[in-house]
Amino acid sequence: MTGTTDTTAGSRGGAVLVLNSGSSSLKYQLLYPDTGEVVVSGIIERIGETDVPDHGTALRRVFDEFASAGIDLSSIAAVGHRVVHGGRTFHEPTLIDDDVLAEIRRLSSLAPLHNPANVAGIEVARELLPGVDQVAVFDTAFFFHLPDAAATYAIDSAVAEQHALRRYGFHGTSHRYVSERVAEFLGRPYSEVNQIVLHLGNGASASAIRGGRAIDTSMGLTPLEGLVMGTRSGDIDPGLVLHLNRALGMGVDEIDDLLNRRSGLRGLCGENDFRSVRGLIDAGDAAARLAYDVYVHRLRRYIGAYLVELGRVDAITFTAGVGENDPGIRADALAGLERFGIAVDPERNAGRAAVPTRISPDGAEVAVLAVPTNEELAIARDTIALSGG
């Protein structure tokens, strides 16, 4: 378990515990939704492979750590759960009861790796914190109202309908949080700003948001579609999957592993961490250079598409680990777009963005920004708003 604790903050009431349960990990953060002050945060990894056999044991470990840090469990006002797939059911944060839990479980067919882990986290938290409100915040919710033209795959509509095959989008909590910060930063009503948000982390996605409503996003039925990511391919010809099966005899699990874990930057140059890719490029590594070029090419393709879809764009924003910290990607993604009112000022773009930062020159038609995302804070705020805790 790795964690950090600020024991000076542990005695107040009204903190929200945010849980993000992965298939083999449990990320946790206890924070105050009003100020964003973090009391404690950490991650338990390799659940099932180590002396932590399941999520129940993991959460008990977390609570043991709270106890030894002097944090009283009664200071937890509510628990917010990041839930990956809300399907066509959940379009906003939802107070969890037995029916909601059953529906999240039912949606596991759409997210077989993620939703069962989320369900496990919810069950354990309800058991260990009885009487404390639990809220589900869905990664898909922000994209629930995508226009049909953007959400529909051009496949047999009867098959699609029967099996709920459509584009759902993910990272929604981040896209919503960041786009709201952008409107605040610009001092304009959220409902009036047209924007493109580029969430570039280990996972990566882009969204086009018109007046506070997402009208397109790069991830689809699953988080595999779209941009090149740390280990995921993003867009490929679906015929490639058929070819891998027919011509190479690869089975579905092998293809899954190839596209989700052995592709993207890692597949192209052996490294999925962007800093390592930069290091390789600086050392003259040709594979890393190509990986970077493919990454930038895909990113620019989406930016171009969203410029056209939106027609008028007020802001383009970079966020998440790569977007907040790597000036090079920000400059390369938007190079040569002056005729569209888009420019990046080299001095403003020079560093990491610990706070919302304008990196376009004054007077530019399109504001280019780097804005730190904070999914935990967004989840905590949604949670406290619903629980009234």
325 is in an annotated binding site: yes
Shortest Cβ distance from residue 199 to ligand AMP (Å)? 8
Q: Which stretch binds ligand AMP (CB under 6 A): 17-25, 77-85, 86-94, 321-329?
A: 321-329
DSSP assignment of 42-71 equals EEE--TTTSS--SHHHHHHHHHHHHHHTT-
Q: How far is residue 262 from each of residues 59, 272, 348, measured CA to CA in Å?
A: 30, 9, 35
CA 219, 225, 229 angle in degrees (round to 5)? 95
The reply to whether 170 sits near ligand AMP by the rule CB under 6 A is no
CA distance 349 to 327: 6
12 is in an annotated binding site: no
Count residues binding ligand AMP (CB under 6 A).
12
The reply to whether 226 sits near ligand AMP by the rule CB under 6 A is no
Q: What is the 3-state secondary structure (H, E, C) of 239-257?
A: HHHHHHHHCCCCCHHHHHH
**One residue of 33, 87, 223, 230 binding ligand AMP per CB under 6 A:** 230
**Residues 241-270: x/- map of binding to ligand AMP (CB under 6 A)?**
------------------------------
Q: Is 191 helix (H, G, I), strand (E, B) or coil?
A: helix
Q: How far is residue 104 from each of residues 42, 85, 126, measured CA to CA in Å?
A: 25, 8, 15
Range 191-210, binding ligand AMP (CB under 6 A)? 201-202
The reply to whether 139 sits near ligand AMP by the rule CB under 6 A is no
Range 341-360, binding ligand AMP (CB under 6 A)? 352
202 is in an annotated binding site: yes
Nearer to ligand AMP, 216 or 326 (CB): 326
- The strands making up 194-200's β-sheet, listed across from edge to edge, are 213-217, 204-210, 194-200, 315-319, 367-370, 357-358
323 is in an annotated binding site: yes
Binding residues for ligand AMP, rule: CB under 6 A, are 201-202, 230, 273-275, 320-322, 325-326, 352
Binding-site residues for Mg(2+): 20, 375
